[in-house]
């Protein structure tokens, strides 16, 4: 699951101070389930009571962008507003060297001009059902870990398939509280999605990597899609009203979106694992790939265009992970976690749960020991880091699709469950361009990394390379495969196992060659790491709820959550006051401060149109709402549920939120409704689009 714009990352010296404050903080923490909103806190602190209708309206107006991000309906005719960086994958796939919509922007003046996206899927959550009892009943008492994992997976696949058959809705069983709760989420799905509007990337991501996760900020990080049904714009009942005035300083706001992942429940041992193993490992790969793609991109403007989206994702992830690691490398963070764990242990000491807590923590540590042993193979083989390129992913998907479809639904790998196949096929048969040269560069690097990590003498490495160097083997694979052709993919998918068996396509042969070992390490991971972690965290969660009722929201799972907070500036650790919002005039000043040079170069359209804009229009604003990567594109609404802005980032001081929340300096950053309307009307000549907002 790709989560767009992971927010946590980047080094910040203020972590210790933030934490000291966090210990005292109550306030605006939490990514709440819509069916368990923080009613008491809202009533007590903000004198606000969300009605059932208020909640349902906001829920149904919220959109999950399946590729990784959030959004909202903002018109009755299916208009969806999300971030430019969430839509960038689709925009990039629609672009060519001649029509580079990433660079130049795009606006469809008529419905006919709206551009169908290759493989965009939007989900709207329409129903939630608790299935905990059924899942837990499926796991017999005394079941081994392997039996438990298998039984649980079978139950989930089956529940989803039943739901799909009964309702026709996309149906996902979601694991909440790391296994404390299971819920069936039913989504209405839109797959005919068309691009309506995108600004130039230079203003959507104004300030580039240097300004990413910074504040003050000046980005028009938006784009519009339209959901279609039966070839017509979708008729939408629940969409957000538009409030150009936005929210004032100190005003209560809500964020409805899909935070991707948090680790707030993690034990100390688990955080140490992140700090010592998984984060450094991921970062090493990211550094390597960032350098690779930069080098590739610098060879020509066209190369740069081809690598742009990958590079953005890498840089964004890198900044987030560096910050997460910096948080964990701060002894104050770890000391706080340790104190909390010890205090929980003490509180529980007299209770019957005390032993449970200790044994659960021990089980987590034991599962992580197992993970340390298999993490390399898992990452190389199952997570495809040894073969990282689009063509290999396609080959593996074809190979596994044939194998999994031949099994009963209940026994399949999760991503091949019947209820997920339509989404999977949409990606598999995407006509989006695949660039042979870029694929060869990426695969050569991946194979070299494989040799480095697994060892040049490793039997599978030798088999995979066939006596060639990584560069030579990669070139042969990319030149030899026919999988760039969608028709070839379709034919192989339709032909099932027989077609796969008969295929001599070199990439298919490679995917088959490594499938056994990959599945094997995955099975060990699922049975001996994931399953014991799930069982242990389910116990820990229950104990924590008992002891700390107030923190009773689950870690993020890329499913719909409600956060709240107030629009509010803050004072940096150096005593610098930062304002609650920036303005359009500020964007021009920021560009001038950097001589309007990349990545601080405003588009020509903005430079020419400066005099037409009201300089005091708010551009970006910050609030104390609790967000994380995946929230990108989430609507910010006021008490009346009206759209006042769209989340696109968090500041540096929010990077520690993956592990612990604090609103002392941490802030969620959003584009203001007024700037969106002002830019559409005065710079982009897009009054019809602006007129449609909220209508």
- Helical H runs in 350-389? 353-377
- Toward its own copies, which CB reaches closer, 252 or 656? 656
- CB neighbours (10 Å) of residue 61? 23
Chain CA centroid to CA 1, Å: 7
Residue 384 Cβ vs its own copies, minimum distance, rounded to whole Å:
20
For the bound state, the minimum distance from the C-beta of residue 467 to its own copies, rounded and expressed in Å, comes to 5
Q: Which residues partner with 670 through β-bridges? A: 621, 647
Residue 472 CB, shortest distance to its own copies, in Å, is: 5
Q: Least distance (Å) from its own copies to the CB of residue 549?
A: 32
Nearer to its own copies, 160 or 649 (CB): 649
Min CB(676)–its own copies separation in Å: 27
Between residues 236 and 333, which has the closer beta carbon with respect to its own copies? Answer: 333
Comparing CB distances to its own copies, the nearer of 422 and 452 is 452
Q: How far is the CB of 337 from its own copies (least distance, A)?
A: 13
- Of 64 and 388, CB closest to its own copies: 388
Beta-carbon contacts of residue 54 (< 8 Å; ≥ 6 apart): 641
Task: Give me the phi and psi of 122, to 5 degrees please.
Answer: -115, 140
Long-range contacts of 405-413 (CB under 8 A, 24+ apart): 405/496, 406/496, 406/497, 409/157, 409/158, 409/161, 410/153, 410/154, 410/155, 410/157, 410/158, 411/150, 411/153, 411/154, 411/157, 412/157, 413/522
CB of 436 to its own copies, least distance (A): 15
Kindly state the smallest distance separating residue 327's Cβ from its own copies, in Å.
9
Q: Radius of gyration over alpha carbons of the chain, in Å?
A: 25
Largest Cα–Cα distance in the chain? 73
Decide whether 470 or 641 has the Cβ nearer to its own copies. Answer: 470
H/E element, 671: strand 668-672
We find the least distance from the C-beta atom of residue 511 to its own copies, in angstroms, to be: 22
Min dist. Cβ of residue 339 to its own copies (A): 15
- For its own copies, which is the closer residue by CB, 441 or 627? 441
**Nearer to its own copies (CB atom), residue 441 or residue 670:** 441
CB closer to its own copies out of 331 and 516: 331
Q: 3-state DSSP call for residue 588?
A: helix
Degrees to nearest 5, angle at CA 320 with 315 and 323: 125
d(CA 80, CA 154): 35
Min separation Cβ 481 and its own copies, Å = 17
**Helix 331-349 crosses helix 15-24 at what angle (to 10 degrees)?**
30
- Helix, strand, or coil here: 401? helix
**Measured distance CA(499)–CA(504) in Å, rounded:** 10
Distance of alpha carbon 133 from alpha carbon 194, whole angstroms = 40
Q: How far is the CB of 285 from its own copies (least distance, A)?
A: 9
User: Where do runs of H (alpha helix) occur along 263-413?
Assistant: 268-273, 279-298, 301-328, 331-349, 353-377, 390-405
CA distances from residue 289 to 283, 389, 449 in whole angstroms, order as listed = 10, 12, 11
Q: Which is nearer to its own copies, 171 or 212 (CB)?
A: 212
Answer for the pair 223, 203: CB distance below 8 angstroms, yes or no. no
**Cβ closest to its own copies, residue 36 vs residue 301:** 301
Residues that bind its own copies (CB under 8 A): 11-13, 15-16, 208-210, 272, 275-276, 280, 283-284, 287-288, 290-291, 294-295, 298-301, 318, 325-326, 329-332, 334, 444, 448, 451-452, 455-456, 465, 467-472, 475, 594-595, 597, 599
Q: Give the residue from 560, 75, 120, 539 showing the smallest Cα distance to 348.
A: 539
Dihedral angle at the C-alpha atoms of 348, 352, 353, 355, nearest 10 degrees? Answer: 90
Give min distance, CB of 544 to its own copies, in A.
25
Q: How far apart are CA 82 and CA 88, in angstroms?
A: 10
Residue number, 468 or 523, with CB nearest to its own copies? 468
User: What pairing do the DSSP bridges indicate for beta strands 223-229 and 232-233?
Assistant: antiparallel
Beta bridge partners of 182: 175
Query: By C-beta, is 286 or 671 nearer to its own copies?
Result: 286
Kindly list the distances between the CA atom of residue 590 and the CA atoms of 217, 594, 637, 669, in Å, as whole numbers in the listed order.
9, 7, 28, 17
């Amino acid at each position: 699951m790709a989560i767009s714009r992971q927010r946590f990352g980047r080094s910040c010296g203020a972590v210790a101070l933030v934490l000291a404050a966090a210990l005292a903080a109550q306030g605006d923490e939490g990514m709440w389930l819509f069916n368990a909103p923080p009613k008491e806190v809202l009533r007590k602190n903000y004198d606000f009571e969300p009605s059932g209708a208020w909640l349902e309206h906001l829920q149904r107006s919220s959109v999950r962008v399946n590729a990784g991000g959030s959004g909202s309906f903002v018109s009755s005719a299916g208009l969806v507003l999300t971030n430019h960086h969430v839509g960038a994958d689709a925009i990039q796939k629609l672009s060519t060297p001649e029509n580079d919509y990433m660079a130049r922007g795009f606006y469809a003046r008529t419905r006919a001009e709206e551009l169908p996206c290759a493989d965009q899927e939007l989900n709207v959550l329409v129903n939630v059902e608790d299935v905990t009892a059924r899942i837990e009943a499926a796991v017999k008492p005394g079941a081994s870990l392997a039996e438990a994992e298998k039984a649980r997976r079978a139950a989930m696949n089956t529940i989803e398939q039943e739901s799909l058959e009964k309702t026709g809705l996309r149906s996902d069983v979601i694991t909440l509280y790391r296994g404390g709760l299971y819920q069936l989420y039913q989504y209405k799905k839109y797959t005919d999605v068309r691009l309506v509007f995108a600004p130039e990337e230079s203003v959507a991501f104004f300030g580039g990597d240097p300004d990413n996760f910074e504040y003050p900020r000046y980005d028009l990080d938006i784009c519009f899609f339209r959901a279609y049904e039966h070839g017509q714009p979708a008729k939408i009942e629940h969409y957000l009203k538009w409030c150009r005035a936005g929210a004032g300083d100190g005003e209560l706001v809500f964020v409805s979106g899909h935070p991707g992942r948090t680790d707030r429940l993690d034990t100390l041992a688990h955080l140490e694992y992140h700090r010592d193993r998984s984060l450094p490992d991921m970062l090493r790969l990211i550094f390597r790939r960032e350098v690779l793609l930069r080098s590739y991109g610098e060879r020509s403007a066209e190369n740069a265009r081809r690598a742009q989206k990958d590079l953005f994702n890498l840089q964004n992830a890198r900044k987030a992970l560096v910050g997460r690691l910096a948080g964990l490398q701060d002894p104050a963070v770890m000391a706080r976690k340790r104190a909390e764990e010890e205090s929980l242990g003490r509180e529980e000491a007299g209770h019957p749960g005390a032993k449970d807590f200790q044994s659960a923590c021990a089980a987590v540590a034991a599962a992580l020991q197992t993970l340390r042993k298999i993490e390399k193979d898992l990452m190389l083989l199952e997570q495809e880091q040894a073969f990282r390129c689009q063509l290999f992913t396609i080959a593996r998907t074809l190979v596994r699709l044939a194998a999994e479809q031949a099994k009963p639904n209940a026994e399949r790998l999760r991503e091949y469950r019947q209820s997920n196949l339509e989404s999977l096929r949409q990606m598999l048969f995407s006509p989006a361009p695949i660039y042979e040269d870029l694929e060869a560069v990426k695969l050569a690097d991946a194979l070299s990394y494989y040799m480095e990590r697994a060892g040049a003498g490793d039997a599978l490495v030798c088999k995979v390379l066939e006596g060639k160097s990584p560069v030579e083997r990669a070139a042969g694979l990319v030149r030899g495969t026919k999988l760039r052709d969608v028709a070839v993919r379709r034919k192989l998918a339709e032909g099932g196992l027989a077609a796969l068996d008969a295929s001599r396509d070199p990439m298919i042969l490679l995917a088959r060659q490594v499938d056994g070992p990959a599945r094997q390490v995955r099975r060990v991971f699922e049975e001996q790491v994931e399953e014991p972690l799930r069982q242990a965290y389910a116990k820990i969660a229950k104990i924590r709820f008992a002891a700390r009722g107030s923190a009773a929201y689950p870690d993020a799972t890329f499913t719909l959550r409600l956060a709240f907070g107030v629009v509010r500036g803050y004072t940096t650790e150096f005593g610098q006051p930062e304002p609650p919002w920036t303005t359009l005039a500020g964007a021009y000043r920021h560009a001038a401060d950097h001589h309007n040079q990349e990545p601080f170069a405003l588009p020509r359209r903005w430079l020419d149109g400066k005099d037409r804009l009201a300089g005091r229009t708010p551009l970006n604003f910050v609030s104390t709402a609790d967000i994380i990567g995946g929230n990108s594109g989430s609507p910010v609404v006021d008490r009346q549920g009206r759209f006042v802005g769209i989340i696109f980032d968090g500041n540096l001081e929010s990077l520690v939120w993956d592990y612990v929340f604090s609103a002392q300096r941490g802030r969620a950053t959003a584009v203001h409704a007024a700037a969106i309307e002002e830019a559409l009307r005065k710079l982009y000549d897009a009054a019809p689009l602006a007129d449609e907002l909220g209508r």
